[in-house]
Amino acid sequence: MANLKEIRIRLNSVKSTRQITSAMKMVSAAKLRKAQDAIVQMRPFANKLQEIQRTASTALNNESTENVFLQPGASDRVLLVVISSNRGLCGAFNSNVIKKALYRISEKYHAAFQGNKLDVMCIGKKGYDSLKSRGLSIIDSRHSILEKLTFADSRTIADKLIGEFMVKKYGSIELIYNQFRNAAIQDVVAESFLPLTHTVSTDEILTLPLNYIYEPTAELLLERLIPMALRIQFHKALLDSLASDHGARMTAMHKATDNATDLIRELELTYNKARQASITNELLEIVSGANALRG
């Protein structure tokens, strides 16, 4: 059994750690509330915009009219946009995104990777550090955007991605990020950004309102609507990732605080037992010494 000093030092260390994890949990909880409100308010607008875009795209396909955003890219280069976090201590948040990116590369984009036709854009330091160490081609990294996320900053990146697709630098652009469900659950998704695949299938025709009247034409509407929808889609992905980050960190720090509390309880019990044993030994030594003096 460890001596009293060692147990006391470890006990004080765990108590200090619990104070840190408890403070981090409260900070993440405060940030989560704001990030959750932002993504909840964004989703209805983004979903409705996507619905209008899909129905207009279907009308455009029926008219046999071509649109650059709806056509497969002429280039065979692929760009993956991996959205992670700048900091750790958030459970499996970052590792799940990295695993998803590596899985997509090995399963779907293996040929592009082998032919040096796969590039990666990283948003978040953790994803950048991990994927860079694996030898992937990181063409761009944006970390500061996550510190204070604004639509203006995300629009700048989205416009860059749209421009590179339109000049046929990339034939496919995909977003990989954590989609927020609640504070404890985040779904890792790989979402196609370009080309658009939001056309209405036969099964969906009965569920979507296809009786829109387009003025002047569906083609002109899509020219304005699609870039806006893509910017909203990209900004929503960042908001989802940010809310998921705070939720995962709050949950991880909550578990760490609970574990520290349990460990403190065990250490206090061990310390009391060791202290009791020490006192008993001292009493025995005193009694033995007294008996020896009498003898």
Q: Which positions are catalytic?
A: 90
172: β partners: 78
Beta carbons within 10 angstroms of residue 211's beta carbon: 6
Determine contact, residues 139/80, Cβ cutoff 8 Å.
Answer: no
- Nearest-Å Rg of the Cα atoms of the chain is 28
74 vs 117: CA distance, rounded Å? 13
293 vs 286: CA distance, rounded Å? 11
93 vs 79: CA distance, rounded Å? 22
198 vs 58: CA distance, rounded Å? 9
The encoded tokens of residue 149 equal 């996320």
User: What φ, ψ does residue 203 adopt, rounded to 5°?
Assistant: -70, -25
Determine contact, residues 267/7, Cβ cutoff 8 Å.
Answer: yes
The encoded tokens of residue 84 equal 């992670």
Contacts of residue 97, defined as CB under 8 A and 6 or more positions apart, other chains included, come to 82, 83, 84, 127, 176, 177, 178, 188
Query: DSSP secondary-structure letter at 70?
Result: T
